[in-house]
Amino acid sequence: MKMQSLQLLLSALLLLVVSPSPSTIIVKGDNTALLVIDVQECFMDFTGTGDPGSLAVSDTSAIIPIINKIRKDAGCVFDTVVRSQDLHPDHHISFASTFGLEPFAHLSGNKGGLPLTCFSADSGLAEGSACCPTYYVNRDRVDCDTQLCPSPENISDDAKMSIFNSTACEKCKESPGECFDTTQAMWTDHCLRSGDSGFPVGLDTKPTDVVVQKGGNVHVDSYSAFLDNTKRLKTSLDDTLTELSVGTIYMVGIATDYCVYFSALDALSLGYEVYVVTDAMRGISESGVAAALADMEEQGATLITSDEMFAKGCPRTSTTQKSTKQNRKTKSSKKVRKQGK
């Protein structure tokens, strides 16, 4: 009897020791979201007018009927649909033209992206962060022979005003210890608020869809729909999904090797269960897509095709639908995921 009590006590103590503290555990909701990443005119190979979008990604028109079919034939899988929207102001930090450079300069000359020095705002929100080209923060820290530098003689006056309007240019000069380094790829001017940032006409949408905008901060880019590129500040997406009790995400969209990739990794680290629908997305380079898919899977995402989703089928009657949904919820409610997975 005494031995049993001792065993019980030891078991209780062991449970206390091995149980993660409440702050390290995230219990995600039971609901499921379809996350449609950046399916916008600007990334389309052919827009409604027949012209390519401002940052056209090859073969993107082909995914629209697939995404529509997912919504139509596998709609019972989702409780909510969220569409992210890349939406930039003029002279955005991701535009090569802002710095007098050629688009895709990060891919030529083996110099990589433009070195930036950034700080994160105390607010924790993406709008508060800022970056400045390291070239303008501390010229000595950049070697323009081996690193990408702005081309000052080619920068317009308006762009100059925008660049130096970044609080990071002064703040990181005065307090370098509060700042950190990153790099920025140099794209075409794309997805402007005043341009082709809207959703393609052929993409089925509903008034109940949630739209999460990103890239609105002129001084910081945001590939991931969850975090800006400083990787320290959140967009509204995680809070929105939490409010909607979402714990599982099916991802589709553009580009597999950039915005989908970074969104998937952030979703995993935030504790979501992630399914990547491989035929409902397109990427910028073949090798980039292969590497991104492999890494997403490695990090814990499940790669599936839309046919595999359709094969599961949606029940025809509401009674069956309810019971299937209940089964799924019962299964998913058991999930407890650790932060920082």
Q: Which is nearer to Zn ion, 200 or 215 (CB)?
A: 215
Q: Which is nearer to Zn ion, 187 or 275 (CB)?
A: 187
Residues 85-104, mask of contacts with Zn ion (x by CB under 5 A): -x------------------
| Binders in 207-226 for Zn ion, by CB under 5 A | 215
Closest CA to 246 of 30, 7, 18, 22: 30
The values of phi and psi at residue 274, to 5°, are -120, 130
Q: Please, what is the minimum distance in Å from the beta carbon of residue 262 to Zn ion?
A: 12
Q: How far apart are CA 94 and CA 229, in angstroms?
A: 11
Closest CA to 229 of 256, 198, 262: 262
Q: Please, what is the minimum distance in Å from the beta carbon of residue 53 to Zn ion?
A: 11
Q: How far apart are CA 337 and CA 341, in angstroms?
A: 8
Q: Please, what is the minimum distance in Å from the beta carbon of residue 168 to Zn ion?
A: 19
Q: How far apart are CA 136 and CA 125, in angstroms?
A: 25
Task: Count interface residues toward Zn ion (CB under 5 A).
Answer: 2
Q: CA 135 → CA 34, 98, 112, 154, 266, distances in Å?
A: 41, 14, 15, 15, 29
Q: Which is nearer to Zn ion, 41 or 86 (CB)?
A: 86
Q: Does 238 bind Zn ion (CB under 5 A)?
A: no
By Cβ distance, which residue is nearest to Zn ion? 86
Edge-first strand order for the sheet with 246-254 is 210-214, 80-86, 31-37, 246-254, 273-282, 302-304
Q: Does 196 bind Zn ion (CB under 5 A)?
A: no
Q: Please, what is the minimum distance in Å from the beta carbon of residue 217 to Zn ion?
A: 11
Q: Which is nearer to Zn ion, 86 or 257 (CB)?
A: 86
Residues at the interface with Zn ion (CB under 5 A): 86, 215
